[in-house]
Amino acid sequence: MHILSAFFPAMRRGAVVWCMAFAATGGVQAQTAPVSPPTPSPSASAPAGQAPYKLRIVGGLAGLNQYTRQEEPFWNKELSRLSGGRFEAEIVPFDRAGVPGSEMLRLLQLGVVPFGTTLMSSFTAQYPEYTAPDLAGLNPDIATLKTTLAAFRPFLEKALRDQHGVEALAIYVYPAQVVFCKKPLRSLAELSGRRIRVSSSTQADFVGALGGVPVLTGFAQIVPGLTAGNVECAITGTMSGNTLGLPALTSHVHALPITWGLAVFGANRTAWTALPPDLRALLGRELPKLEAAIWEESERETADGMACNRGASNCVAGRKGNMVLVPVSAADERSRRDILYSAVLPRWVQRCGARCAQIWNQTIGPLRGLVAVPASK
């Protein structure tokens, strides 16, 4: 049964409290770093004979490490342990629960999904201003991404709260999104003329500025596209590419992170405030720990994905391939900066409007020394 199908009968019956008991979270890929807070005292345990307060969670993408090694254990096991059995949860990945990723923010706003994770790339069409911290070419390493997000986060949290009635409880990150290619590759410049799978408009801007041909497709179409020859290269995560078997389909992988992939775990504000205060306090303590664990593992998984793709001895979690790792050259780094300033940022502003230029110039712009100029009418 689709998890959303459980919401609508309850809403029709007006069972508001029942609906509040359902939650959604999700996002991206990482490995488990167990959260280890103190075990609750016996007094905090569920009273004998009292059924636990149960949440139903709609999580991130099925099969990716963030879901299987972080989200699923946290909600299915850790929540109960942390609360002494007073609170429990079940989690289902959104791509197996009938929840369109592009509709998650709207469903959160309506309260149909009281708690849920939405990929920030899904904001591109309706709310492009929210995609600012992960523009293609902006963050060449995860340390830079952290400072970029820190500069933007206060605006994002306030905008989600004020404009959508959504409380941002955590922000998750995917491992680096890099370029895998079937033919030899020595630099970014050699992507010119190649058909390249992209997953967002900002990646398309970056590829187009290199002279490549961006082909916008979903994650599930990467392997069919490469196999059929519809694309010659694909941008995807270092480890998710390994999981897909790209070392058997491609020969070269470039080390530059084009983007990363951010996801917001948010709550409908009414649903959040309706939770038992001690559950709200527990999640307020533990979700930042889950966020930190996901970021730490994302960084490790980025490196491990690269190690596995090239068949290095320090490969841990993936399948060893035999790919050629193309390092980031000085010329590549110059191209990244030039394309960000001359193509990616102005095209984002063109799609987004003058308000986005203002937001950029008040948040990320000063940090990066890049001024966004509103498009002329």
Chain segment 272-318, per-residue pLDDT in tens: 999 999 999 999 999 999 999 999 999 999 999 999 999 999 999 89
Q: In the prediction, which pLDDT does 9 show?
A: 36
Q: In the prediction, which pLDDT does 188 show?
A: 98
Q: In the prediction, which pLDDT does 177 show?
A: 97
Indicate the pairing of strand 177-181 with strand 53-59.
Answer: unpaired
Q: CA 312, CA 304: separation in Å to the nearest integer?
A: 9
Q: CA 174, CA 222: separation in Å to the nearest integer?
A: 17
Q: What percent of the chain has pLDDT over 70?
A: 86
**φ, ψ dihedrals at 56, nearest 5°:** -115, 125
Average pLDDT across the chain, whole number: 86
Answer for the pair 360, 375: CB distance below 8 angstroms, yes or no. no
Q: Which residue has the higher pLDDT, 22 or 63?
A: 63
Classify residue 259 by its DSSP letter.
B
Answer for the pair 239, 175: CB distance below 8 angstroms, yes or no. yes
Q: What is the pLDDT of residues 318-346, one digit of tens each?
A: 999 999 999 999 999 999 999 999 999 99
Q: What is the pTM of this model?
A: 0.84
What are the structural domains of the chain?
3-175+260-302 (3.40.190.170), 178-258+311-368 (3.40.190.170)
Q: In the prediction, which pLDDT does 376 show?
A: 67
In the predicted structure, residue 98 carries a pLDDT above the cut 80: no
Three-state DSSP state, 135: coil
Computed on alpha carbons and rounded to an integer, the radius of gyration of the chain in Å comes to 21
Residues 4-15 have a mean pLDDT of 37
Q: In the prediction, which pLDDT does 100 show?
A: 76
